[in-house]
Amino acid sequence: MKPPEFVMNPQQFLETLYLVMKGINPAVGDMELYEFKYGMDTVFPNDDWASIRLSEPDKIENLVNSSSFYDKIQIKPMKGSKIKLDDEITFLTQMLFTGLVKGKYSTDWVKKHFFFDLRGFYFLHRTEYLTEEVKAHLGGKPFACFECKQKTFEHQQSVGYKEFKAANTEIDGLLINSIKKLISVKGIPIVVAIAGQTAAGKTEIVERLRMEVEKEGRTVTSIEMDNFLTARDHREANGIHSLGKKALHWELFLKCLEDITHGKKITTPRYDFIDGDSSHDLNGYLKPGFTPVEIDPADIIFIEGNFPFLIQEVAHLIGIKVVYLTDDAVRLQRKWKRDVDYRKKYDPNYFRNRFFKDQFPMAEKCYIPQLEVCDIFVDTTGAALWTTPEIARVLRD
């Protein structure tokens, strides 16, 4: 069937899509049409919009829920001397745009499976972390819920920590009080593990927890799992998501955790997030000219990172297991502000490719498995705190 005439006309296509996209991402409504066109120019097909072949919705769902799709995504595809947006990502965005204009894909279906990042001007798969298995493990319903204040971020292109912290005030306050109560019940020394995605807010919540327990006269220290990462080039060359324990200086990590739980001072590697380099070589030895991290023992040892209790050899050493998550769309807004604007950490296209490539595999291999065994799950975007039935009983006493 011949597509509607407006699909063949770039201006009509632009105007129709602009109206439809206001229902996909409210921030589009804060733009003028000519501003929206700036973004459209970056994803314009080689021929025209009528040349984009559309897949059936179920085939698209199968595609974005397949690990093999993300394996194909290139982080540094080149166009001349510059990194470009990966072709698979570009085509997905072009296809969703075209399907929305033609009416083949409904806004409800698109919003269910994708979110549109306005600053990156591309679609990303919406990951479901709260599976039925996770809900069952956590008693079937939240322990407590609050107003979802992160909803105001829908009208923004990036999010700073000050406003992120303000939106999480109630849920963070409950988490802090819950952990303090569990520490008093379980006793010290105790290891508290905070698992969370990049830009979920785990580093900041650990710092606030530290201040709160120090007010009670307890000594506190923390171990950053990211400091045990091997060099970025090594991980990317070997497939970040397939390395498992080999993405870390694993033997060093296990020894450090065992030592500090027995009251011993430890020395850990140091990871440079700007250069992507580690202070230690792949054999676990300190490189010349590098300085490790020294950590004294304490009453409470916080571990923060992507997967502190994913690995069985570590889980038994951890007294309180927390997963602290923020929806991918909000984390991406935070990373634009933090990592691109402030840190100048990434080339924008490298950043877009890497975020798209990482989220689904990390959810499947790292966060969902930890949600299935955690004690507490903090959903900052949903403003809900979930616990196991056992932990709920302790907190209610």
Q: Summarize pLDDT for 151-164 with one digit per residue, the tens.
A: 999 999 999 999 99
pLDDT in tens, 45-94: 998 899 999 999 999 999 999 999 999 999 999 999 999 999 999 999 99
* Domain range enclosing 61: 5-125
At residue 310, the pLDDT reads 87
User: Do 119 and 160 belong to one domain?
Assistant: no
Per the structure block, which two tokens stand in for 322? Answer: 């927390």
User: Do 83 and 161 belong to one domain?
Assistant: no
From the CA atom positions of the chain, what is the Rg in Å?
23
| Last residue of one domain, picked from the residues 81, 110, 125 | 125
Residue 237 lies in a domain: no
Dihedral through CA 232, CA 235, CA 241, CA 246, nearest 10?
A: -120
Residue 67 lies in a domain: yes
Q: What is the mean pLDDT of residues 251-275?
A: 92
Confidence of residue 2 (pLDDT cuts 50, 70, 90): very low
Examine the pLDDT at 379 and tell me if it is beyond 90: yes
CB 393 within 8 A of CB 100: no
User: Do 319 and 207 belong to one domain?
Assistant: yes
% of the chain residues with pLDDT over 90: 84
pLDDT in tens, 350-372: 999 999 999 999 999 999 999 99
pLDDT in tens, 107-149: 999 999 999 999 999 999 999 999 999 999 999 999 999 999 9
Q: Which range has highest mean pLDDT (18-22, 234-238, 305-309)?
A: 18-22
Residue 257 lies in a domain: no
Domain count, the chain: 2
Angle of CA points 378, 380, 386, to nearest 5°: 30
User: Do 146 and 121 belong to one domain?
Assistant: no
Count, in order, helices (H) and strands (E) of the chain.
Answer: 19, 15
At residue 332, the pLDDT reads 98
CATH number for the domain harbouring residue 192 = 3.40.50
At residue 9, the pLDDT reads 85
Cα 84 to Cα 47: distance, rounded to the nearest angstrom: 18
Cα 136 to Cα 130: distance, rounded to the nearest angstrom: 10
At residue 7, the pLDDT reads 46
| Last residue of one domain, picked from the residues 73, 100, 125 | 125
% of the chain residues with pLDDT over 70: 96
User: Do 32 and 152 belong to one domain?
Assistant: no
Average confidence score pLDDT of the chain: 93
User: Do 328 and 344 belong to one domain?
Assistant: yes
At residue 8, the pLDDT reads 55
| DSSP per-residue codes, 205-267 | HHHHHHHHHHTTT--EEEEEGGGGBPPHHHHHHH-HHHHGGGGB-HHHHHHHHHHHHTT--EE
| Last residue of one domain, picked from the residues 125, 150, 184 | 125
Residue 287 lies in a domain: no
User: Do 117 and 153 belong to one domain?
Assistant: no
At residue 6, the pLDDT reads 43
Confidence of residue 239 (pLDDT cuts 50, 70, 90): low
Residue 261 lies in a domain: no
Per the structure block, which two tokens stand in for 345? Answer: 């950490």
Does pTM top 0.75 for this prediction? yes
Residue 251 lies in a domain: no
Confidence of residue 242 (pLDDT cuts 50, 70, 90): low
Residue 264 lies in a domain: no
Residue 250 lies in a domain: no
pLDDT in tens, 3-37: 444 445 889 999 999 999 999 999 999 999 999 99
Q: What is the mean pLDDT of residues 326-348?
A: 96
User: Do 168 and 30 belong to one domain?
Assistant: no
Confidence of residue 230 (pLDDT cuts 50, 70, 90): very high
User: Do 180 and 201 belong to one domain?
Assistant: yes
User: Do 348 and 308 belong to one domain?
Assistant: yes
User: Do 342 and 392 belong to one domain?
Assistant: yes
User: Do 144 and 15 belong to one domain?
Assistant: no
DSSP annotation of 340 reads I
